[in-house]
């Protein structure tokens, strides 16, 4: 016979408190005296009581669930790290995550109305960008929208990004200081703001220092595209002696393409990435890269969610960090400040 679930009324009777106090004791944001909370939790443990999260959300109008929308989870190896950081940080403040995997070949706008049906407290959109119309629709329903690692100007959504322009400029200085004369940029998906901002910072800084326009090949934020694009660059009559890749995952493909062509990294070819995914630090790749401040970016996003304030349409830029490893040759004495 199935045992009848323990109710909050039974817990209240054993703990010697009211039933609403039991509900508040299981809410980490509620004001409950520590000794009272401890007594309620002890009684719940003794009786085997588990609170009904769904029922509580109906009465409080809060689910304590944050929707995360991601695409291409397995391609870049960057976003699984982001997902792990989000779930850990949100759970620490008493919230859970509900993951929605957006199809890479379909507009994310198609699934957002369905997501709103789950009454999430906030929506974090990662690795894909919705239209301004659907963002405004979300905020009008009282669901804050946060864009992570991308931005949508002239919308009500707050954006949190690494300073991609500054990162691109830092890479340009690094390669010029190392004495490189044939520099290339391996682009990510053309429509993404992350790619355009990294390329802008890189190209602008090269021009400021009198270099001119770099070589360019198109990639797609995948290992395979980095491999293929680097092979095309190396097939040129005058191939590059340095490549800045818009993402680490493409840089890994670039390193393997160079090695397959018999080149030595970094003696024959320097390669730089962006993100600092875990594989970048493996001895087999030893990739120099711009590290995105994932922990700080996630903390900023969670703080905005906890504040529960109306979306202000602000962009929060956080600086990346240059991580120097063995894939770039040493400077030639012409450093810039």
Per-residue pLDDT at 54: 53
Say whether both 175 and 277 belong to one domain: yes
CB atoms inside a 10 Å sphere around CB 236: 12
Say whether both 51 and 95 belong to one domain: no
pLDDT along the chain (337 residues), means of 10: 73 86 77 88 84 55 79 79 92 86 70 76 80 72 83 77 97 97 94 91 97 95 96 97 97 98 96 97 97 95 78 84 96 51
Per-residue pLDDT at 336: 44
Per-residue pLDDT at 333: 46
Per-residue pLDDT at 234: 97
Is 25 domain-assigned? yes
Q: Are strands 183-187 and 242-245 parallel, antiparallel or unpaired?
A: parallel
Per-residue pLDDT at 308: 63
Please state the domain count of the chain.
3
Per-residue pLDDT at 309: 60
Domain of residue 85, CATH code: 3.40.50.2300
Is 130 domain-assigned? yes
Q: Are strands 321-323 and 288-291 parallel, antiparallel or unpaired?
A: antiparallel
Say whether both 185 and 282 belong to one domain: yes
CA dist 53 → 31, 56, 260 (Å):
18, 5, 55
Catalogue the E-assigned strands of 130-282.
145-148, 158-162, 183-187, 215-218, 242-245, 270-275
Task: Give yes or no for a contact between 96 and 265, defined as CB atoms under 8 angstroms apart.
Answer: no
Task: Give yes or no for a contact between 239 and 271, defined as CB atoms under 8 angstroms apart.
Answer: no
Phi first, then psi, for residue 302 (nearest 5°) are -65, -35
Per-residue pLDDT at 153: 67
Say whether both 131 and 74 belong to one domain: yes
CA dist 317 → 10, 75, 223, 297 (Å):
50, 25, 27, 9
Using DSSP's 3-state secondary structure scheme, residue 242 falls into strand
Strand partners, 122: 66
Say whether both 72 and 38 belong to one domain: no
Q: Which helix (H) or strand (E) holds 219?
A: none
Q: How does the average pLDDT of the chain come out, rounded?
A: 86
Per-residue pLDDT at 335: 44
Is 308 domain-assigned? yes
Task: Give yes or no for a contact between 102 and 111, defined as CB atoms under 8 angstroms apart.
Answer: yes
Neighbour-count burial of 23, counting CB atoms closer than 10 A to its CB (0-12 exposed, 13-18 middle, 19+ buried):
buried
Structural domain including 12 reads: 8-60
Per-residue pLDDT at 193: 85
Per-residue pLDDT at 44: 85
Per-residue pLDDT at 260: 97
């Amino acid at each position: 016979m199935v045992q009848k679930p323990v109710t909050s009324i039974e817990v209240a009777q054993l703990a010697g408190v009211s039933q609403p106090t039991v509900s508040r004791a299981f809410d980490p944001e509620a004001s409950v005296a520590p000794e009272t909370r401890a007594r309620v939790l002890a009684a719940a443990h003794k009786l085997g009581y588990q609170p009904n999260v769904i029922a509580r959300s109906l009465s409080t109008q809060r689910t304590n669930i944050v929707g995360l929308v991601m695409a291409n989870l397995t391609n870049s190896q960057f976003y699984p790290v982001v997902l792990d950081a989000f779930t850990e940080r949100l759970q620490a403040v008493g919230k859970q995550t509900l993951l929605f995997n957006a199809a890479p070949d379909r507009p994310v706008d198609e699934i957002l109305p369905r997501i709103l049906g789950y009454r999430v407290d906030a929506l974090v959109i990662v690795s894909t960008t919705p239209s301004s119309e659907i963002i405004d629709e979300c905020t009008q329903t009282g669901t804050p929208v946060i864009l992570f690692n991308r931005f949508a100007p002239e919308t009500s959504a707050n954006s949190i990004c690494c300073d991609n322009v500054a990162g691109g400029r830092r890479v340009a200085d690094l390669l010029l200081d190392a004495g490189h004369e044939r520099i290339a940029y391996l682009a990510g998906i053309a429509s993404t703001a992350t790619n355009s901002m990294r390329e802008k910072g890189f190209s602008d800084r090269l021009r400021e220092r009198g270099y001119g326009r770099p070589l360019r090949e198109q990639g797609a934020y995948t290992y395979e595209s980095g491999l293929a694009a680097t092979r095309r660059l190396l097939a040129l009559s005058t191939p590059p002696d340095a490549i800045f890749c818009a993402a680490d995952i493409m840089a890994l493909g670039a390193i393997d393409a160079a090695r397959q062509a018999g080149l030595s990294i970094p003696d024959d070819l320097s390669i730089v990435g962006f993100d600092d995914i875990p594989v970048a630090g493996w001895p087999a790749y030893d990739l120099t890269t711009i590290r995105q401040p994932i922990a700080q970016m996630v903390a900023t996003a969670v703080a905005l969610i906890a504040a529960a304030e109306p979306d202000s349409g602000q962009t929060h830029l956080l600086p990346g960090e240059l991580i120097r490893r063995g894939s770039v040759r040493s400077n030639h004495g012409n450093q810039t400040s």
